[in-house]
Amino acid sequence: MTTQASLPAQSLPAPAPAVNPETREFWDATAQDRLLLRRCRDCDAVIWYPRAICPECASLNTEWFPAAGRGRIYSYTVNHRGEGAYTGLPPFVLAYVELDEGPRLMTNIVGADNAELAVGLPVEVVFHDTGDGAALPRFQPMRD
Ligand SMILES: [Zn+2]
């Protein structure tokens, strides 16, 4: 069996995110290697994507809290035809990671041999600086 290693982390582009007033604190935290989530103080829902209003109960009584930065691969695919900043790249891994706190983030898996990828694989966050005051949260297999 042959294996194909994924791209080293630094060779994936890190385009700057679109930041708005509701996501400013989230992106500012990523620049400090911190992953923040929002939580509803009224119904305890963990809110993703970041926004001020709770999608479960419409409460505005929400707050930021630090996520552990750990989760599991919920679904993934090896993308051979990137678009935009990803055009022309060697194959890279696009995934949904389900965080320990519950939300599922669309992200990239980096630093992994594609042969080890599996649904349920434990992963941890790494941050890739966009050079624009933010960093993209991506995930690598948890090493112990
Ligand atoms: Zn709520």
Is pLDDT at 129 greater than 80 in this prediction?
yes
- Measured in Å, residue 22 CA sits from the centre of ligand 1 at 16
For 32-70, write each residue's pLDDT tens digit: 999 999 999 999 999 999 999 999 999 999 999 999 999
Burial of residue 11, with CB atoms counted within 10 A of its CB: 0-12 exposed, 13-18 middle, 19 or more buried: exposed
Give the up-direction half-sphere exposure of residue 45: CA atoms within 13 A in the CB hemisphere: 18
Radius of gyration of the chain (CA): 16
The pTM score is 0.89
Domain 17-141 top-level CATH class: mainly beta
Q: What is the pLDDT of residue 6?
A: 46
Percent of the chain with pLDDT over 90: 86
Token pair in block for residue 93 = 């891994």
- Measured in Å, residue 100 CA sits from the centre of ligand 1 at 19
Please give the Cα distance from 58 to 80 (Å, whole number).
40
Phi-psi region of 33 (alpha: psi -120 to 50; beta: other; left: phi over 0): left
